[in-house]
């Protein structure tokens, strides 16, 4: 990933996208439509999330392998510790390696069912992502990324401790982090400052901001679930105002404002020197490609200017 960021950083800030494992054949067809759309836009990498507890394990491993073998994209496989012994985790990494995947985003994962519920490690598993970073690195030539949290992880006692845990994951061998989605760029900038102040060496590693274009009030709920917090009032007000006060939300207006918000955030992140823009796509290409077009990225050619 870090190498790909360097290759892509020639003229414009690179971007990358996140996919989710499809649940069925129709979902898989939709994913492939998005994959082919993004392929024309040259993302630095694409990541594939991992279902809680490995519920869609076989499909996830197969589809991520197909991304490696049948596209020009660089896939990053998310790997979570939930419900897996260390032996199972090793064998999963082996399955990814067999299909040509060398980039793994190492995560602990959340308790299945209720992300805020009590965390129990698998009796033969790992307690924290940091341990899994070491395990994956020990397995061979893998490039590892980890999660970072601009507003702190919901289980961390405070931001300083949260930053110390991130620095430990980076020291354990992670080469970069991807943040939890956020809606206030200042949170991202403060995280970056905290890591640099705490550990200048680890702080030099890329912190890739994650964005999600809001396309409806329903996506607001999804975004709040994914980041485990309410969206800021300033953002909610703009979206609600666009929705109008009629019985039906004005979806076109909400979508327009959602894309506008994501574009403004992305532009500020570019201006502030973010190393890459990582978009949650929910396996649709349209909203992300609109944001990229607003920012001046070409659709069929490599990006044109910084
Ligand atoms: P850890 O780094 O292990 O941290 C977990 C908690 O323990 C935190 O509160 C941390 O502060 C604390 N902690 C860490 N180290 C220590 C230590 N040494 N001692 C004491 N406390 C410690 N979930 C999925 O199920 N599938 C996915 O594909 C997925 N993709 C994600 C992608 C991104 C970019 C992000 C930001 C999150 C993703 N998640 C995914 C959610 C993630 O699994 C959860 O947020 C999870 O609760 C934390 O994972 P982590 O890897 O940061 O855990």
Tell me the range of 153-157, 199-203, 245-249 where mean pLDDT is highest.
199-203
Residues with catalytic roles? 18
Helices (H), the chain: 2-8, 25-39, 57-70, 86-98, 129-138, 159-171, 185-198, 200-203, 217-227, 233-243, 251-271, 286-295
Distance 11 CA to ligand 1 centre (A): 33
CB burial class (10 A; 0-12, 13-18, 19+) of residue 214? buried
Claim: this prediction has a pTM higher than 0.90? yes
Count of alpha carbons within 13 Å of 288, Cβ hemisphere only? 24
Distance 29 CA to ligand 1 centre (A): 30
Secondary-structure percent of the chain, ordered helix, strand, coil, rounded to 5: 50, 10, 40
Residues with a CB atom less than 6 Å from ligand 1 = 49-50, 52, 78, 80, 107-110, 128-130, 147, 153, 155-156, 162, 165, 169, 178, 180, 210
Distance 245 CA to ligand 1 centre (A): 38
How far is 110 from 82, CA to CA, in rounded Å? 7
Please enumerate in sequence order all residues whose Cβ is within 8 A of that of 22, keeping only pairs 6 or more positions apart, or say none: 28, 30, 31, 59, 63, 283
Confidence tier at 164 by pLDDT (50, 70, 90)? very high
Q: Whose CA is nearest to atom 28 of ligand 1?
A: 49
Confidence tier at 305 by pLDDT (50, 70, 90)? very low
């Amino acid at each position: 990933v870090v190498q790909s960021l360097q290759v892509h950083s020639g003229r414009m800030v690179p971007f990358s996208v996140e996919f989710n494992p499809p649940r069925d054949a129709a979902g898989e067809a939709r994913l492939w439509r998005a994959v082919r759309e993004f392929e024309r836009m040259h993302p630095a990498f694409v990541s594939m999330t991992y279902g809680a507890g490995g519920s869609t394990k076989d499909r996830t491993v197969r589809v991520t392998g197909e991304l490696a073998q049948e596209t020009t994209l660089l896939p990053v496989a998310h790997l979570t510790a939930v419900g897996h012994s260390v032996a199972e985790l090793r064998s999963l990494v082996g399955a990814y390696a067999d299909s040509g995947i060398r980039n793994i985003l190492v995560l602990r994962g959340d308790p299945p069912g209720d992300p805020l519920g009590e965390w129990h490690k698998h009796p033969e598993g790992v307690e924290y992502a940091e341990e899994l970073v070491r395990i994956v690195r020990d397995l061979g030539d893998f490039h590892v990324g980890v999660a970072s949290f601009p507003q702190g992880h919901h289980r961390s006692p405070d931001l300083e401790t949260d930053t110390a845990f991130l620095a430990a994951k980076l020291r354990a061998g992670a080469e970069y982090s991807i943040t939890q989605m956020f809606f206030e760029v200042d949170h991202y900038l403060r995280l970056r400052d905290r890591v640099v102040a705490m550990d200048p060496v680890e702080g030099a590693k890329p912190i890739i901001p994650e964005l999600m274009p809001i396309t409806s009030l329903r996506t607001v709920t999804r975004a709040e679930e994914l980041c485990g917090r309410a969206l800021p009032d300033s953002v909610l007000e703009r979206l609600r105002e666009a929705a109008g006060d009629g019985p039906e939300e004005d979806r076109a207006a909400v979508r327009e404002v959602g894309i506008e918000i994501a574009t403004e955030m992305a532009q500020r992140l570019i201006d502030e020197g973010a190393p890459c823009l990582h978009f949650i796509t929910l396996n649709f290409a349209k909203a992300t490609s609109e944001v990229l077009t607003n920012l001046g990225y070409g659709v069929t050619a490599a990006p044109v200017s910084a």
